[in-house]
Chain A
Amino acid sequence: MTETIQKINIVIVLAPLLAAIIAGLFGRKIGRAGAHWVTNIGVAISFVLSLVVYNHLVSNGAEAINQSVYTWLISDGIRFEIGFLIDNLTAMMMVVVTFVSLMVHIYTIGYMKDDPGYQRFFSYISLFTFSMLMLVMANNFLQLFFGWEAVGLVSYLLIGFWYKKETAIYANLKAFLVNRVGDFGFLLGIAAVLMYFNTLDYAAVFSNVEMHKDLTASLIPGTEWNVITVICILLFIGAMGKSAQVPLHVWLPDSMEGPTPISALIHAATMVTAGIYMVARMSPLYEYSETALSFVLVIGAITALFMGFLGLIQNDIKRVVAYSTLSQLGYMTVALGASAYAAGIFHLMTHAFFKALLFLAAGSVIIAMHHEQDIRKMGGLKKYLPITWITSLIGSLALIGAPGFAGFYSKDSIIEAVGLSNLPGSGFAYACVLMGVFVTALYSFRMYFLVFHGKERMDEHTRSHLHEPSKVVTVPLILLAIPSVLAGAVMVGDMSFGNYFGEAIFVLPQHDVLAELAKDFDGWFSMIIHGMTMPPFWLALGGVLTAWFLYLVKPELPGKIKANFNWLYTLLDNKYYADIFNDWFFAGGTRGIGRNLWQFGDVKIIDGFMVNGTARTIGWFSSMIRHVQSGYLYHYAFAMIFGLLLLFGLFVLD
């Protein structure tokens, strides 16, 4: 059986790759329908086979598979392999990735139907699916990095998909470069792993962590750094880039320049959660560094709350969802920091469903509105787009953690776990995630009310054309709405409080907050009852009611608040000035340094002074010497006589 599964794993990865190659290279030959069929089938194969693998591992409880596919290279006796580690964590990720990807593939048929780059788009998203699978299925750091960068590449290509748009090609360059800043840390982390563990294979590294836990290195002479802490923080810098944690979050909102399906797939459900997945995968390392965990915790908490604030004032429907994604990624990161890896991954999964749903629903609204994205120009869409409306409502409820919905279980697990954590920074983190609940509810329902309820603010022409998009758009919405409701209740017992992940996630007993919580857990239903007595529920309810009051009951009020708190609005509107600062300091500074080094170093000093200066000196010297050879006979005669006199003089003086 294991051998069959190993073969299946290879097919799971190759099916979308092959589809991407066919759609990409032969797009013109196979036509539009050919391209969407081949890629949809490719991803569907992956999805079905992922279910088989999932069933084998999770349902039948088979042992984890650690398989080598081929040896990438050998150097210095170290084998760099391409291979798969398939355990429950991987299996779950494979199912989530291929399921969301399949939904997005189907949805794209409708969303992109008039786009001239149809085949190219399908090729990219299938390539993305391949890359993401390589990332989650890796059994070593090299392949992890390969997948890590490959998803970055596809993200780059897709954000800039509409390459004529100046904003899009600005955003994709920015996304790539900011991610490269993260990868810079990530790669150094990998180098550190190789240096101290002499292998990049997960299993070999993880089994030796304990031996190395007290090892130190002096990075700056005279100071000692714990090696595990250094490794963990370096790797986490990578996660900060990919999972858009403050201060490397700046690329994600801009990535909304890409077509909506990829916002759902890449910039909400899958790629941006790679960092979360990576840290959870590395739990055997992170557990041995409380410093790193605290760092993770604080960064996550800042992201969760402060990115949520920014969602409050956005008017672009996609940007609201984008900031909500940032904030939710912060929640997942907080969970990792609190050693509640399982809860973080659980939230990753539920978030993948409801956030993909929200994005695709937003896309459906955008199509209906003829590519209008400003929520101030919407309103009352409920009656025109019933399916989009109801699925959006489900998605929003799941997002704010309404009891019973998927997000409720995962988010409450996180919040309670953080409450129990004793790490430095956990108090701050707890406050942030609690406040975050209110903020999440407020911005989510602000958007929901502005889009679907209240006055119809669009122009007459748009209104007369409003209608629900075709089935390929609505069916994925419905299919995503189902797990957005159910996934939490079904999985919470196993994932948050059970032993779902088995050996895949490692937690030291003194950090195991989830085990603590598990003692009080008895079933998904009593968790609802319990949840209603807890602060997050009331905070969420408060957020919804505030949104209702502000945007439906007294719609003139937000304007007044804005006028009264202008400084705050300006601060939020400028996104804490992060973009302006980065543009000025990093982008401008780097260009400035480049220009100056070139003009001063290369042009002036090396070429001007040293190279051409030498040439000039030689030239000047020869021009002086030249005067000696004047060609006049009497000059030479004079020189001869003078020389003779000199020699005679010397003799005489002797």
Chain B
Amino acid sequence: MFSDLPLLSLIIWLPIFGGLLVLVNGDDRGLFKSRSLSLVIALATFILSIPLYTQFDSGTHLMQFQELSPWISTFNINYHLGVDGISVPLILLTTFTTVLVVIAGWEVIKFKPSQYMAAFLIMEGLMNGVFASLDSILFYVFWEAMLIPMFIVIGVWGGANRVYATIKFFLYTFLGSVFMLIALIYMYYQADSFAILDFHNLQIGITAQILIFLAFLIAFAVKVPMFPVHTWLPDAHVEAPTGGSVILAAIMLKMGAYGFLRFSLPIVPDASHELDWLMITLSLIAVVYIGFVALAQQDMKKLIAYSSIAHMGFVTLGFFIVYAIYNNTGSYSGAIMGIEGGIVQMISHGLVSGAMFLCVGVMYDRMHSRQIGDYGGVVNTMPIFAAFMVFFAMANAGLPGTSGFVGEFMVILAAFKANFWFAFLAATTLILGAAYTLWMVKRVIFGDVSNDNVAKLTDINNREFLILGVLAVGVLALGIYPAPLLEVMHATVANLVEHIAVSKL
């Protein structure tokens, strides 16, 4: 029934215009209840995104659901959309998470709820745009536009130190993107087109490749974020409202990693090869160094933010061990597993970190504190919540049977093929990840009731139960049966590895 619809355009523009409608409608004086209206729009977008998976032809690496029409013909810029096995899971993650975020903000956001909801809906459309764009200028526009609603979300509904955090967030990410724009324009002059797929076929000299790689690196590394450009993330998370944190962790961080797959690796494979030591080093620093840093955090959101950085280290590690595997074993066997592991880790991290931030949100709404020291013995007053929290913490620690395990497992297996020590350092997450996550759980959840505020806590309500329950099912399902997710990406990733194995010099 959906086959004739321009699905990609719909999932981009429906939430954007829907968001504007919510905005115009206003808080309570409008025709509709702003929350219900937002939920309907988010749900409709989610439903519209499902056929992208069900009708996806996993047998081909070619772009599907393509839409193409001229936009600025002077510069050969087109409104060109399409998805492959890498972007489909990310789009589904986006539409799914937005629904949860809308529900999560339901009665918590009392200040200008319609604007809050509108910001998230508009952001959803823009993020879908990023994942679906096949024209680099279109991509760039979505990429930059997406910052605005997030900037507003943190700046308006954020915590006490929100101004510092928003400026840091904005400047960091904006600065990175400018370099990307320069690279895109350079390539336009080479290819006479802004189409990403045309860039993939460019022959570029090594110096230019390295410069392009670095330009992209600055843009994407900030977003992932990679060490040492990661410090905006803990600040942004701490100040952001729960919904903002969820979107930030679940989706926005994935854009950088997506950029590496869509731009860096296929466009400048030789530079990627040349500089893979840098990427691997930074990824491993993210896993080990950030793992240690997470251990020292006293603020739950900061802790989870740092844990996000460590988990994203697995993503970039999985992507950039391709060449090391070839150098070590003489074949690219194992490279696919690294990249697929990285993608699975992205999806899983979206669910798990989203859930962790929601859990902190649940507690914050009641206690107005994120400090670990203010809690203790929450299980006594919130047993159902505690069960969820422990479950997600286990997923965060990469327990088999949860989605958190799958990606890490695949990346470690692949990393071993590249170099024993890569795998060795990456596998320290087994210890560090468990240490920082479960130590927090011990201090927050377990123990006797530590103070009167904890004694007064009430367990989660139906709305919160619904959100956490849905996420728990997702985390469990992906952990027990990840094959369907992998199925979608096989052809695309196999083609990617084939493509990046060929020199472009």
Contacts and interface: CB of A to CB of B under 8 A. Distances in A.
Interface stretch (A177-185, A357-365, A416-424): A177-185
Interface string B194-229: 000000000000000000000000000000000010
A173 interface: yes
A164 B447 contact: yes
B400 A150 contact: yes
Main secondary structure of the interface of A (DSSP, over half): helix
A594 B295 contact: yes
A177 B293 contact: no
Given A188-B423, A594-B293, A146 B334 contact: no
B447 A177 contact: no
Contacts of A177: 431, 434-435, 438
A160 interface: yes
B483 A71 contact: yes
B296 A72 contact: no
B289 interface: yes
Contact of B228 (A74, A146, A599, A606): A606
Given A176-B438, A590-B292, A594-B293, A181 B420 contact: no
Nearest to A185: B427
Interface stretch (B179-187, B266-274, B336-344): B336-344
Contacts of B289: 597, 601
B295 A146 contact: no
B399 A591 contact: no
A75 interface: yes
Contacts of B412: 187-188, 191
Contacts of B394: 153
A75 B410 contact: yes
B363 interface: no
Interface in A183-236: 183-184, 187-188, 190-192, 194-195, 198, 217, 219
A593 B409 CA distance: 26
B399 A153 contact: yes
B347 interface: no
Given A177-B434, A188-B416, A195-B417, A75 B427 contact: no
A607 interface: yes
Given A70-B481, A191-B413, A217 B420 contact: yes
Contact of A183 (B297, B340, B430, B481): B430
Contact of A184 (B400, B428, B490): B428
Contacts of B377: 163-164
Contacts of A78: 337
Contact of A598 (B293, B409, B410, B420): B293
A611 interface: yes
B205 to A, nearest CB: 32
Contacts of B401: 146, 149-150
A594 B333 CA distance: 36
B481 to A, nearest CB: 7
A115 interface: no
B448 A75 contact: no
A384 interface: no
Interface in B286-343: 289, 292-297, 329, 333-337, 340-341
Interface string A98-116: 0000000000000000000
A611 B447 contact: no
Contacts of A191: 412-413, 415-416, 423, 427
B424 interface: yes
A76 B381 CA distance: 47
A580 B502 CA distance: 56
A597 B230 CA distance: 14
Contact of A195 (B416, B438, B446, B481): B416
A195 B168 CA distance: 43
B406 interface: yes
A1 interface: no
Nearest to B408: A187
A598 B296 contact: yes
B412 to A, nearest CB: 6
Contacts of B406: 73
A610 interface: yes
Contacts of B231: 602, 606-607, 611
B244 to A, nearest CB: 21
B32 interface: no
B212 to A, nearest CB: 24
Contacts of A190: 413
A424 to B, nearest CB: 25
A166 interface: yes
A169 interface: yes
B228 A184 contact: no
Given A76-B336, A146-B401, A160-B446, A598 B297 contact: yes
A593 B293 CA distance: 8
B439 interface: yes
A145 interface: yes
Interface in B93-139: none
A7 interface: no
Interface in B73-89: none
Interface in A601-642: 601-602, 606-607, 610-611
B430 A187 contact: yes
B442 interface: yes
Nearest to A169: B446
Contacts of A173: 438-439, 442
B380 interface: yes
A595 interface: yes
A12 B270 CA distance: 53
A102 to B, nearest CB: 24
B157 to A, nearest CB: 24
Contact of B483 (A72, A149, A163, A597): A72
Contacts of B430: 180, 183-184, 187
A217 B329 CA distance: 11
Contacts of A184: 427-428, 430-431
A4 B297 CA distance: 54
Given A72-B483, A173-B438, A590 B399 contact: no
Contact of B294 (A75, A192, A594): A594
A107 to B, nearest CB: 25
Interface string B227-253: 010011000000000000000000000
A565 to B, nearest CB: 38
Contacts of B341: 75
A187 B490 CA distance: 24
A192 B405 CA distance: 18
A176 B434 contact: yes
B168 A611 contact: yes
A329 to B, nearest CB: 22
B417 to A, nearest CB: 5
Contacts of A602: 231, 293
Nearest to B489: A75
Nearest to B391: A153
Contacts of B428: 184
B413 A194 contact: yes
A75 B400 CA distance: 17
A187 B413 CA distance: 9
A78 B329 CA distance: 17
Contact of B296 (A77, A166, A594, A607): A594
Interface string A137-163: 000001001100110010011001001
A169 B409 CA distance: 28
A74 B483 contact: yes
B159 interface: no
A583 to B, nearest CB: 14
14 contacts: A72-B482, A75-B486, A76-B333, A163-B379, A166-B447, A176-B434, A181-B431, A184-B427, A184-B431, A188-B420, A217-B420, A593-B292, A597-B289, A607-B231
Q: Which 3 A-B pairs have the closest CB atoms?
A: A594-B295, A191-B416, A594-B296
Given A75-B486, A187-B430, A195-B413, 13 more contacts: A75-B340, A77-B333, A156-B438, A164-B380, A173-B438, A177-B438, A190-B413, A593-B292, A594-B294, A595-B295, A597-B289, A599-B296, A602-B231
